[in-house]
Structure 1
Amino acid sequence: MTTTSQQELFRFLEDRFACAQACAECARSAALRASLMDPGGPKRRESARRSGILCAEVCEATCHVLSRQQAQNERDVRVQLEWCRDVCLECAEAFDGCPGSEAAARRCRECARACEDFIAVLR
């Protein structure tokens, strides 16, 4: 293995870890915000709560995909990352309208950026 390919491999693994870590943080934050929101509250809060639950589930699934040791189909990984990125951005937008949800929205956006960065490595 050449130095360049070793560096590319290390970068790939670092990006994979950073994305998985961001997904985990986003999942925790989204789940926490969702549990704190009044399920019977106004329509906007209910929408944010549902988005938070979905975001937590997608981020958790993405962590599982990224943590698998066996060889994976790159296309499948990319599709999972794109789905995670999109759900995180939607969740961040939903949280934007809910007071006290700023940190959760920020984590969702950080996760979306980490997914996007990792997708760029796969191209």
Structure 2
Amino acid sequence: MATSTGEADRDLLVRFLEECFGCAQACQECAVVCWTAASALSPEARNRLDVRCAEICERTARLLSRQNSGDGAALRIQLEVCAETCRVTADNTFRPGRMEHRSAQQAASCRRCEVSCRRVLGLLTSEVTA
């Protein structure tokens, strides 16, 4: 249990990184499965959304993990993009022909990442207004 604001913030950031990298992995795995199942001549737009979500989540986590005193506005924009991409990906996960169990896991991972992004955004916003 966190005993100070700094420790609570650190715990929040660690949780964010876990959720973000977890989402990236889940989306990448789904993209590979969908790509394998789809015809190489007609790849699904859904598959591209999986790849885009994986790339954005990974980029956001890497950016935040090495963020020192850099551009807070750019970081907030990246977090907003990540949260929205995760929301859209989760909303579009269940499609006919997709493996339901894997899709449910991916959607849950995307939702957790979206929530984590919004929590970190809240933390950054409160730091700016403090």
Query: What's the counterpart of residue 104 of structure 2?
Result: 102
User: Structure 1 length normalisation: TM-score?
Assistant: 0.84
Query: What's the counterpart of residue 111 of structure 1?
Result: 113
Q: Mean alpha-carbon deviation: is it higher for 22-31 or for 32-41?
A: 32-41
Partners of 2:106 and 2:51 in 1: CA distance = 12
Over 3 Å counting, the alpha-carbon distance change for 1:105 and 1:15 in structure 2 is same
Shift of 1:93: 1.5
Query: What's the counterpart of residue 62 of structure 1?
Result: 60
RMSD: 2.0
Over 3 Å counting, the alpha-carbon distance change for 1:58 and 1:82 in structure 2 is same
SS in structure 1 at match of 2:44: helix
Partners of 1:23 and 1:16 in 2: CA distance = 10
1:78 has 2:76 as partner: yes
Query: What's the counterpart of residue 91 of structure 1?
Result: 89
Amino acid at match of 2:71: N
Partners of 2:38 and 2:83 in 1: CA distance = 25
Q: Mean alpha-carbon deviation: is it higher for 12-21 or for 84-93?
A: 12-21
Query: What's the counterpart of residue 39 of structure 1?
Result: 38
Query: What's the counterpart of residue 128 of structure 2?
Result: none
What count of residue pairs does the alignment treat as equivalent? Answer: 116
Query: What's the counterpart of residue 16 of structure 2?
Result: 19
Amino acid at match of 1:91: T
The ranges of structure 1 where at least 4 consecutive aligned residues each deviate by more than 4 angstroms after the TM superposition are none
> Any stretches of 5+ residues in structure 2 without a counterpart?
126-130
State, as a whole percentage, how many aligned pairs show the same letter: 26
Query: What's the counterpart of residue 4 of structure 2?
Result: 7
Partners of 1:87 and 1:61 in 2: CA distance = 12
SS in structure 2 at match of 1:95: coil
Amino acid at match of 2:23: C
SS in structure 2 at match of 1:54: helix
Q: Mean alpha-carbon deviation: is it higher for 18-27 or for 6-15?
A: 6-15
User: Structure 2 length normalisation: TM-score?
Assistant: 0.80
